[in-house]
Chains A and B, each alone.
Chain A
């Protein structure tokens, strides 16, 4: 995969090992063109979160390590900068499971996102208003304790908080998790809007293949640490194998991706 200055993120055949023994990724390569939304799809344990964490360098906190391959973000090699430095470079990860600061108010949560930036009080207010324009629901609830807001609101808080760091790139880890379909749609609409209006590039890990591909430009499907298939979102949505395995449109019941490939080559 050739590095291109139009690509904000290039992951080149990385291998990730946890605790020095457990290999979670084997040879994952992917590219996120600047200003696009790229979906990273796959089931539980496929390596989606691990991929995102190796990019944001949150991996070290879980005793994981990139042992082979390279990651290049915005022209800079990603090694062991640490999350704070990556946020400074404009890359923010929204962790799986929302992870709001439960005892802080909604507004305090969002303001905390600006921690890495040196802003005056009025600049913070200014940015806050811009963010509320995308997340109108949060403005109404800004004085509530975040721990008592709904799951959908918490997901919005997590995204809004990340946006407050003024990222060039967002890594979203399963924003649809545990949410009702209407809320999932609402959140993806906001994500899409942020991508279009703010020009934020997005790498999105999802299990909800359908919603993810409808909103993304390009998709990668990974399974047990390998990229199995990739292509434009439209091509993946109409791909028979993807339909069968990930969209639940099947003729013969559940299958493993490998089996499909094997059946094909046989």
Chain B
């Protein structure tokens, strides 16, 4: 019985940690949907956003004020990206855009560190990274409050975005642009506004993901690399799918923890660092569009 409880604990812990991956992956999906570009700067945006947030709090802003100010800042980042990077590169190949996002990543990393310094900062959200007593007492499971919060936040964001895309005018515009920017433009959908909206949304998602990660691991440069954990999540879930981002995150979170605990010892441990990528390769071989990725529709 305790064996089983332990398994459940590992699984739940993994799933909840997975929602953190989902949050980061969500930022990638948004931009991928709108411009078919893998935004290499997403990791840098996570770092930039949360560092700015912590920096603003250090300047004496209250939590909600700093939060709003950072969202505004991410809007400016989106605006700047749209005007200075995307617009001049309009109609260039996707490879060109990909390279541009790598450059953008370096710029954001540099700007963030120039403005706020390089030391690791602590972010206290008032939610501890320790087991919730009530769950320990009643279910006998050790589940972290922070994990649970991240899970709830991720769920709310994902449901919210999915509804936004399905039922609002902006959402329809975004999906139209995602399918065919030229055709969208021909019927009067303003591409610039859609891009700006998407980058701002990706910035907000980056901020929230950064806050969750930062509260656990400290606000530091390593967040940039952590964000690349979203890559296997995207390969499994599908680059263009919001539900895919969440399920992919859950799968990665759960598998890496279960493998770490049950298979890890045979490899001398620490397999959670690379196990997700092995899983991703498996997916690339057998289901390259991912679980929920939009199948390429080709009429014959």
Chain A residues near B (Cβ < 8 Å): 56, 58, 61-63, 83-84, 86-88, 92-95, 99-104, 108-109, 111-113, 115-116, 145, 147-148, 151, 158, 161-162, 164-165
Contacts and interface: CB of A to CB of B under 8 A. Distances in A.
A99 B91 contact: no
A95 B297 contact: no
B299 A111 contact: no
B73 interface: no
A87 B169 CA distance: 17
A112 B297 contact: no
Given A61-B182, A99-B183, A103-B297, A87 B188 contact: yes
B139 interface: no
A62 B91 contact: yes
A147 B180 contact: no
Nearest to A171: B186
B188 A88 contact: yes
Interface residues of B, number: 22
Given A62-B91, A63-B91, A103-B294, A83 B175 contact: no
A62 B188 CA distance: 17
A148 B297 contact: yes
Contacts of A165: 187-188
B294 to A, nearest CB: 6
19 contacts: A56-B186, A61-B90, A83-B188, A92-B188, A93-B186, A99-B186, A100-B183, A101-B176, A101-B180, A104-B179, A112-B172, A112-B173, A112-B176, A115-B169, A115-B172, A145-B297, A147-B297, A148-B297, A151-B299
A84 B177 CA distance: 13
A164 B176 CA distance: 15
Contacts of A102: 179-180, 297
A84 B185 contact: yes
A83 B186 contact: yes
Contacts, number: 88
A99 B180 contact: yes
Nearest to B178: A103
Nearest to B185: A83
Contact of B183 (A87, A88, A101): A101
A92 B188 CA distance: 8
Interface in B265-300: 294, 297, 299
- Interface residues of B, dominant DSSP: helix
A56 B188 CA distance: 11
A6 to B, nearest CB: 26
Q: Considering the complex of A and B, which 4 residue pairs feature the smallest CB-CB distances, nearest first? A: A87-B188, A116-B188, A147-B297, A99-B183
Contacts of A112: 172-173, 176, 184, 187, 189
Contacts of B183: 95, 99-101, 158
A61 B91 contact: yes
A84 B189 CA distance: 6
A84 B193 CA distance: 11
Given A101-B179, A115-B169, A115-B172, A94 B186 contact: yes
B69 to A, nearest CB: 31
B190 interface: yes
A104 B189 CA distance: 15
Most buried by A among B90, B185, B187, B189: B187
B185 A61 contact: yes
Contact of A147 (B173, B178, B186, B299): B299
A241 B266 CA distance: 84
Given A102-B297, A112-B173, A58 B179 contact: no
Contacts of A164: 187
Given A61-B90, A102-B179, A115-B169, A162 B299 contact: no
A108 B172 contact: yes
A233 B184 CA distance: 33
B297 A161 contact: no
B297 A84 contact: no
A99 B172 contact: no
Given A61-B182, A101-B180, A102-B179, A116 B91 contact: no
A262 B172 CA distance: 54
Contact of A101 (B169, B175, B185): B175
Interface in B186-220: 186-190
A161 B188 CA distance: 11
B137 to A, nearest CB: 48
A103 B175 contact: yes
A128 to B, nearest CB: 13
A160 B184 CA distance: 14
A111 B172 contact: yes
Contacts of B299: 147-148, 151
A63 B91 CA distance: 9
Nearest to A62: B91
